[in-house]
Amino acid sequence: MPFDLTEEQKALEARVRRLATERIAPRAAAIDRTEAYPWENVAVLRETGLLGYTIPKEYGGAGGNFLDAAVIVEELARACGVTGRIAVETNMGAISAVMCHGTEDQKRLAAGLVLAGDKPAICITEPAAGSAANEMTTRADRHGGRWVINGRKHWITGGGTSRLYLVFARAFAEDGRELGIAGFLARAGETGLVVGRREPTMGLRGIPETEILFENLEITDAMALRHADGRLVGFADLMNAYNSQRVGAAAVALGIAAGAFDLALDFARERKQFGRPIGEFQGLQWKLADMAIGLEAARLMVRRAAALAAPFPDPLLAAEAKVLAAETAIRVTNEALQIFGARGYSRDFPLERMARDARMFTIGGGTAEILRTVIASRLLGWKLPQRRAKARADAS
């Protein structure tokens, strides 16, 4: 299977692990405690070329692929989940959608912002449209060569810190015809783009999750994502690009779990009770074995999904990788905390932070339940109905 790391990728993995250990990990606890966006870490990623690593060379990036990005994200997340998430959004997610579907000007705009330190934000979720994303009500109305956007988004990662926003909205022509859900680029500071309430989150506290309000936000037609033939890039294409973000989220979860496992393994060797290292007790040995098995399986699935992207990860592989990595991360971080005992429960040690951070990934970017529905629909070859009315109509 074509997802073994090349020698160059192994060298990248080792380089990022050293960087994360020496320059990222020392700030992780303070980021969690203060809930401040880690601009110092962003500067480190920019300085070392890890921001926009997947951006093509002609736009200033390294020209890396999604497997490179998965390796980078995992290693950063071992030390700091927040920094891992930033690496996702600057190498996958919104930036990959723009680099695939954007115009030349849009690509240069997005690439320039990312390489300068920006983490683009994807604006999909709304208060009444979470898992049912296609029920969004934010709308973009065409008026004289411009688009006027109105609506409310919620749980937007990076709201208030991001300079570029990829906004999903229902598009309407000047004559009132609905054109479907499309993607639009908006920049921070524009009149009509308002950052609302920040959510007080359980984990990953250094990256804001906010409301974004659109109040007659006017953008030029040049900021709408379009195909070469002029058609608006539709919901299906945008969500297909979103699969790269799901693989990235899986890599963050994997990295957090791998970091927790490393700590637990070292502690099991060093901590002594009853006159011997606690790692000699079979109960803890089996915990460590199960943790290692889960991590290796998740790593293989994440890297397979990333390596086989053409140009984006397959929806089935992305869903499988995210479900397994997210649920493995919850188990591994909690078992690692258990091995540390009371110390694991203390904020003086990183395990309680890692357990809180890991909990996000069965929720954000597609819940584990919705992704299981995606997997089942692909296995069965059916487009499974979710609406009650549609289910009744199909049954009849």
Burial of 174 (0-12, 13-18, 19+ CB in 10 A): exposed
Cα-flanking dihedrals φ and ψ of residue 175, to 5°?
-85, 5
57 in any annotated domain? no
327 in any annotated domain? yes
Q: What is the pLDDT of residues 43-67, one digit of tens each?
A: 999 999 999 999 999 999 999 999 9
State the pLDDT at residue 302.
98
Q: How far apart are the first and last CA of the chain?
A: 44
370 in any annotated domain? yes
State the pLDDT at residue 395.
42
- Rounded Cα–Cα distance for residues 241 and 99 (Å): 10
- Pairing type for strands 178-187 and 146-157 reads unpaired
User: Which residue do the tokens 């921070």 mark?
Assistant: 188
State the pLDDT at residue 156.
97
In order of 25, 47, 76, 318, 344, the CA distances from 18 in angstroms are 10, 15, 10, 28, 24
Task: Give the CATH number for residue 244.
Answer: 1.20.140.10
CB 225 within 8 A of CB 102: yes
Segments forming the whole domain that contains residue 320: 236-380
State the pLDDT at residue 360.
97
The rounded Cα 267 to chain-centroid distance in angstroms is 30
Q: How many beta carbons lie within 10 A of that of residue 100, not counting itself?
A: 16
- Rounded Cα–Cα distance for residues 225 and 239 (Å): 13
Radius of gyration over every alpha carbon of the chain, rounded to an integer in angstroms: 21
Which ranges of the chain have pLDDT less than 50? 391-392, 395-396
State the pLDDT at residue 392.
45
Q: Which two tokens stand for residue 140?
A: 């973009």
State the pLDDT at residue 390.
54
If one counts the domains in the chain, the total is 1
280 in any annotated domain? yes
State the pLDDT at residue 396.
43
Dump the DSSP string for 261-301. HHHHHHHHHH-EETTEEGGGSHHHHHHHHHHHHHHHHHHHH
State the pLDDT at residue 2.
59
254 in any annotated domain? yes
State the pLDDT at residue 382.
86
311 preceded by a cis bond (ω within 30 of 0): yes
- Rounded Cα–Cα distance for residues 163 and 9 (Å): 30
361 in any annotated domain? yes
State the pLDDT at residue 385.
65
295 in any annotated domain? yes
104 in any annotated domain? no
